[in-house]
Structure 1
Amino acid sequence: MTALPEPLPDRMPDAMPDLKLLRLFDVLYGTRSVTRAAEQLGQSQPTVSIWLGRLREQLGDPLFVRTPSGMQPTPRADALIGPTRSILESLRRLAAQDDAFDPATARRRLRICMTDASHITLLPPLLARVRAEAPGVQLAATRMDGDTAQALASGEADLAVGYAPWLETGIHQQTLFQQDWVCLASPTHPRLARRRNLNMDLSLDLYQAEPHVTIAAGTGAHLLDAALARAGVVRTVQLELPSFLGLAPIISATDLLATLPRQIGETLATLGGLKVFDCPVPVETFPVRQHWHARYHQDPGNQWLRGLMRELFRA
């Protein structure tokens, strides 16, 4: 007698992780940080910790172990990440339904990796255009770092914009514009205010004599350091900041100089009423590019976003 096939279960097994836990696993594997995973998922850190606890219980493995260099995956996590990402990609394709992308009616979250400088210079005009042309599209800006390539490959990010020479394998790129370097000073700087009013350049001697503020992780900072070393210029650095946040009011209220890429420099000068000088040290220019993964080269939403970036910012 031929055996009858067993009926399909009415529901999935209780131990099967739900979608949010699979997404957490993918993001945490890429970031190695509960805090950064929470930022990318738009959740609080305690919530993400609770989700991770559930996932560990369901899979019967710690999955990630805390170390001085971050949350490192266990061998079981290494074995599961490939199948997990395949599942997530299949679900994304299933949810897409229609390949067409109509900005006026689209409901989608577009994620862009950006530098701190781009948050100030590129994001405001981009947001204005997106709100005007695609009111149902939500933008999410995340940091540009060593995990950006994986974020683009997995679809966790749609685009990366900035100076990122390490993005190569499988990544398309398009140059938007070149950046040179400028110096910012207070409009009431005791030794520079009159010089700017008379349209006089900032001399190299005066540049070396003045105190400076630097951005530790500024875009292209290594290019500036190399140029100063080649020219034998030694600056007196009295303040180091982790980002451009707060730079404009500090310059406005002190006699400190800041040397930074032109676009962020001129934007901060406009916002804070600062003086702009050409940098007296010849510093190598660098390209600001948009980057996307080959897997999403034909994605209509990705193409629309790239076209908008090209229209707004390409020189």
Structure 2
Amino acid sequence: MNISNFDLNLLRVLDALLRERNVSRAAERLSLSQPAVSNALNRLRELLDDPLLVRAGRSMQPTPRALALEAPIRAALQQIEQSLSGGEQFDPARSRQRFTVAMTDYVELLCMPRLLEQLTREAPGISIAISQLSPQLPTEALDKGDLDLALGRFEQIPGRFAQRLWMSETLRLVTRRDHPLLAQAPDLDTFLHLRHLWVHGGQTKGMVDQWLAEHGLRRAIHYTTPNYLQAAHIVAGTDLAVVLPTRLAEHFAALLPLSLYPLPFEVGSFQLEIVSLGQRQRDAALQWLIEQIGAIGAIGMTP
């Protein structure tokens, strides 16, 4: 194909269509009419000799050729955008950008009150949208640009992503005050006889159950939830026990009738990471936001 005969504006249309998988939503994203996007898609199909997107119910599914083009086109468009804006200095006070960040409800509680306070002072026009984080790094959403950042604990981070340590955390056992089985920190046998609530976060096995399994042990889990914040309230009103990150446990112990205990075995600490697409390291606005979040992690959270 002769690139000189190719309308590069069509790449923006293809990128929007691959993001949205819907002509109407792609048109809205591009601020174009639906017929204009449909015409552009027809031109792309003719130029590339491929249907690119085929209808499947109410959405459109990309062909293998379209999927192969998706990442290179998106990377090229982002590089062009960054190059054109390279001479512009980011001004937080005047910015009207919107960032989408994936995190758990636990990390949201640790991070967002402080971040919003900071934005109110220094960048009142910047807005944040939170997306619920699964245990796996949302690589596809970061690659597509649907997410700007992910903040959490990840077992594997591919090399194309930039990462920054946000916070190191430990775990605590949490029960209601005056729990009938606990007058002091529990030993292992007492821990195993408690009725446990487990915050799974989409995982099949957490740090505690991994340690127990390695030692041929098992605890009795009577309630499972994906929500850290609800877990503390449920435990405060029942005889269930829950293992929570230390900073979250300390936060709720200041608000609810809860007691905190060290675990009767050593599982070590875990790290929370700020993760973004590596090729966006020249994105001044995003890097500014990462710096603000990073500073919050360095300070930590007091109850």
TM-score by length of 1: 0.71
Corresponding residue of 1:78: 67
Q: State whether structure 2 residue 195 is matched by structure 1 residue 211.
A: yes
Q: Aligned partners of 1:104, 1:304: CA distance in 2, in Å?
A: 12
One-letter amino acid of the counterpart of residue 109, structure 2: I
Confirm or deny: 8 A CA contact 1:213 1:239 kept in the other structure: yes
Q: State whether structure 2 residue 167 is matched by structure 1 residue 174.
A: no
Computed over aligned residues only, the root mean square deviation of the Cα atoms, in angstroms, reads 3.6
Secondary structure in 2 matching 1:102: coil
Q: Aligned partners of 1:63, 1:245: CA distance in 2, in Å?
A: 42
Q: Aligned partners of 2:52, 2:276: CA distance in 1, in Å?
A: 34
1:141 CA drift (Å): 1.6
1:292 CA drift (Å): 2.2
User: After superposition, where does 1:141-290 map in structure 2 within 5 Å?
Assistant: 141-145=130-134, 146=136, 148-192=138-182, 195=183, 200-217=184-201, 221-290=205-274
Deviation per CA, 1:192-238: give whole Å up to 9, x if none.
3xx2xxxx322222211110111222689532221111233321111
Q: Aligned partners of 2:137, 2:241: CA distance in 1, in Å?
A: 32
User: After superposition, where does 1:101-180 map in structure 2 within 5 Å?
Assistant: 101-145=90-134, 146=136, 148-180=138-170
User: After superposition, where does 1:29-44 map in structure 2 within 5 Å?
Assistant: none
Confirm or deny: 8 A CA contact 1:99 1:300 kept in the other structure: no
TM-score by length of 2: 0.74
Moved more, 153-162 or 166-175: 153-162
Q: Aligned partners of 1:83, 1:64: CA distance in 2, in Å?
A: 23
**CA 1:23–1:188 in 2, change beyond 3 Å: closer, same or farther?**
farther
Taking only the aligned residue pairs, the percentage that are identical comes to 26
Deviation per CA, 1:159-205: give whole Å up to 9, x if none.
2211112212122222122111111111242333xx2xxxx322222
**CA 1:150–1:130 in 2, change beyond 3 Å: closer, same or farther?**
same
Confirm or deny: 8 A CA contact 2:209 2:218 kept in the other structure: no
| Structure 2: tracts of 5 or more residues without a match | 1-6, 29-33, 43-50
Q: Aligned partners of 1:172, 1:106: CA distance in 2, in Å?
A: 23
One-letter amino acid of the counterpart of residue 244, structure 1: Y
Count of matched residue positions in the alignment of Structure 1 and Structure 2 = 271
Deviation per CA, 1:251-310: give whole Å up to 9, x if none.
111100001222333333334342211112321321112122221112211221121122
Moved more, 83-92 or 273-282: 83-92
Q: Aligned partners of 1:181, 1:108: CA distance in 2, in Å?
A: 36
1:76 CA drift (Å): 5.0
